[in-house]
A and B are shown apart, each in its own frame.
Chain A
Amino acid sequence: MKAVTKTGHTGSKTIQTGKGLGRVFTMRNVSLAALVIYFSVFMIYPIFKAFAGSMHDWNPLIGTYKWVGFDNFRLVLSDGLFWKSIGNTAVFCLVSVVFRIVLGLGLALLLSSKLVKAKDTLRGLFYMPTITPMVAVAFVWVWMFDPQFGMIDRVLGLDINWLKDPNWALPAVIIMTIWKDFGYAVVLYLGALMSLPRSVYEAAAIDGANAWQTFWKITLPLLKPMTLFIVITSLISYLQAYVQIMIMTGGGPGTQTYTISYLIFDEAFQKYKFGTASAMSVLLFLMTGILTILMFKASGDMNMEES
């Protein structure tokens, strides 16, 4: 390079330009630019578009885009199905999150104890459903829930038409979701358990704490940041859940298993009413935001009380 810069004015200029470009096209800059472009195109732009779309009579498939102000919000908030979907979503989220936490923590404690052998195999087995695509899992569970040849009724000796029974359809979807997702909590809790300081447990043992007291007074409080993380990520994920509803029940029987995200999907991609779907998305966005803030606030208050 240096030798070239000495060859003359023109050559020197060329190399300097090359050096400048080299400085711009570094791995860091290119990766960063790719990420910025990705997030701008697939995250930021759609969010702003949804906000704008919520104020319009909007069907991008045929180019309809007319200003309607807050009409979509009025329509959504006065729709009984919207509130029913909110109720179903609340039940779906609450039950799924609680079971994900309880099962995840329980199995993680079991795997981290000396009682269980073949820990790596079990950890892999528990995590497998989490990495399997939801579509495939949901289809398999549809067959398992089938009242004629499904495994669940046969094994348990039941006679329930799970996905067509108004009392069992939502629980059936929740059971499948818990089964698919608990491995995520197991792996995270296992990691958290392994990183807990041994000294605290040694001190507790010296003080004469039994296993139950150690769990309640030491393990659980120390796992709080991880629990909060799992609760918040689970809530965000479950508020957006619709694939399992679409495949397993189609929102039915009737509208018994409509969740807010399935309603948004139905409104946008079945009825092509993207304006009202966007208004629902904005409301869901606000709900998720408020829930997350409340969770952080509750966790902060608890920390303050403890300290």
Chain B
Amino acid sequence: MRIRRVLATFVATVSIIALSACGANGGQGEGQTDTKADKGLKTLGVNVKYDPNHLVNKGKPIQLEYWSWVDKEQDPISAMTRDYQKIHPNVTFKIVNVAWADYWTKVPLALKGKNGPALFAVHNSQDALLKPYMAPIDIPADQLKADYTGVPAHLENGKAYYIDTVINTGNIYYNKKLWKEANLTDSDIPKTWDQLVTVAQKLTKWDGSKMVQSGFNLNGDEASAGYPGLWQGLNYQKGELMFDSSGTKPNYKNETTKENMQFIKDLYDKYKVASTAFGVDMGQSFGNGQTAMVYQWGGFAGTLKLKYPDIDYGVFATPTFSEQTPFAYDRYNGESTPGVNKNQSKDQQEAAQDFLKYILANDKFIKDDAKAFNSFPAKKSLQNDPEILSMPIMAAIKPRIDRLIWPGPTPSTMESSAKKSFQDVFQNHKSIDSALDSTQALMEKDIKGTGFKSLEPAYAFYKEARR
């Protein structure tokens, strides 16, 4: 009888503790009390400035939680938290890694309450989910505009909630070993799609009727790689906008998309540089040394570093249909600054804003971010930096930077539905017309009610677009 009561009490206590733990708020952390405001350090930054010689949270210990989907070792923000702690030893960080697939449900739900993370990684495709919980960056817009490109597109009532740190876009990654084996040199780097086809044919190998090496592979389901990312760039190169004149209706079903889908189909059926039977994931195939060239965005550099560190690869700019300057070379998308949780306590928000100011004023962060994402710095002072320009990818992007277009924080259907379109044509053997029809309908259905409006009209060369 006594044992049962003890057990009952134990169960009840554990339940109460478990329930109360759900609402627990740490926040104090294990940092040391900081009493030294004057750190003897220089002020960072040109327009956005950060003077480290002050106390954060009046020197009292405070812990900031930072949520991200990026691996801790790969995330430049994680490195910056360590540097920041050296300056402000009373501030500690708890870094929580959440898988990308769960991130977009877990984070908004956590931000709804009072105990959500003070800082969290932002991807602008999920702007509508995160913006309601974000505090504006506590830096005057003029200072941000003076230091960073692309700020005006992020302003709402004169305030920015996040801005771009680097400009990410698609490029062609090539395997240097396979390139050499095919007797190709740097002078063979293609500038036009026709040239790429010629090079890809030299890089493709067959064993009878079975492909053993793909010259240019587009197989896969990744959002920004292969067709889902490439269709936008190909259309922009021909001056075709992604949205109609209202800015709210997707413009997928049109002659340009059809023409470009046929071009990609020709890569598989006519030029035979790719095959739907040749693996299911071009990134993996490239990493395994079976594919010579792939179209990928900047994040692919991180994947290669993490999963295939031995692969010797180079990067060159995505070809165009002719050597003339196109309407736009490709779409770009910025990697965003972390968001600050407006539902957190005043102390937490102040400390988070201080950290944000530190990273935005700090060139090291932007350089690390540029390297981590193979992307061009949005910080103007670094756009001519010799160290940055010594990277081949940066040298490839720089001359094109003005001709990269940002359509705004486009809903993910613009990529996920395009993926279905590709599968319908290449795997389900549907006609291009039929695939374009169903994808247009799907995009329209998904985008309805999201409140999205394209920022294409803000592009400097918008008037050159096809009508």
Among B4, B105, B413, B427, contact of A254 (Cβ-Cβ < 8 Å) = B427
A26 within 8 Å of B (CB atoms): yes
A164 within 8 Å of B (CB atoms): yes
- A272 CA / B108 CA spacing, docked (Å): 12
- A256 CA / B423 CA spacing, docked (Å): 10
B7 within 8 Å of A (CB atoms): yes
Q: Across the interface, name the chain B residue whose C-beta is closest to A255.
A: B420
B8 within 8 Å of A (CB atoms): yes
Instruction: Note all chain A residues with C-beta closer than 8 A to B427.
Output: 161, 164-166, 252-254
B37 within 8 Å of A (CB atoms): no
Among A57, A250, A252, contact of B449 (Cβ-Cβ < 8 Å) = A57
B303 within 8 Å of A (CB atoms): no
Closest beta carbon of chain B to A127's beta carbon, Å: 30
Interface residues of A in 237-278 (CB under 8 A from B): 250, 252-256, 269-272
Interface size class of A (residues with CB under 8 A): 20 to 34
A207 within 8 Å of B (CB atoms): no
B5 within 8 Å of A (CB atoms): yes
Closest beta carbon of chain B to A147's beta carbon, Å: 6
B112 within 8 Å of A (CB atoms): yes
Size of the B side of the interface (Cβ < 8 Å), in residues, is 38
Interface centre among B420, B427, B430 (most CB of A within 10 A): B427
Interface residues of A in 141-185 (CB under 8 A from B): 146-148, 159, 161, 163-166
Among A25, A29, A161, A269, contact of B105 (Cβ-Cβ < 8 Å) = A269
Instruction: Note all chain A residues with C-beta closer than 8 A to B266.
Output: none
Q: A254-B423, A254-B424, A256-B428 are in contact. Are A25 and B276 (CB under 8 A)?
A: no
Contact with A along B6-18 (1 / 0, CB 8 A): 0111011001000
Residues of A within 8 A of B (CB): 22, 25-27, 29-31, 34, 37, 57, 60-63, 146-148, 159, 161, 163-166, 250, 252-256, 269-272
Pairs across A and B, CB under 8 Å, 10 listed:
A30-B12, A61-B104, A148-B285, A159-B210, A161-B277, A164-B427, A166-B429, A250-B221, A252-B420, A254-B424
Shortest beta-carbon contacts, A-B, top 3 = A253-B427, A61-B108, A253-B423
Residues of B within 8 A of A (CB): 4-5, 7-9, 11-12, 15, 104-105, 108-109, 112, 128-129, 132, 210, 221, 276-280, 285, 290, 412-413, 416, 419-420, 423-424, 427-430, 446, 449
* Additional A-B contact list (12), CB under 8 Å, known A27-B7, A146-B279, A164-B280: A26-B4, A61-B108, A62-B132, A63-B112, A147-B280, A159-B210, A161-B276, A164-B276, A252-B420, A254-B420, A254-B428, A272-B129
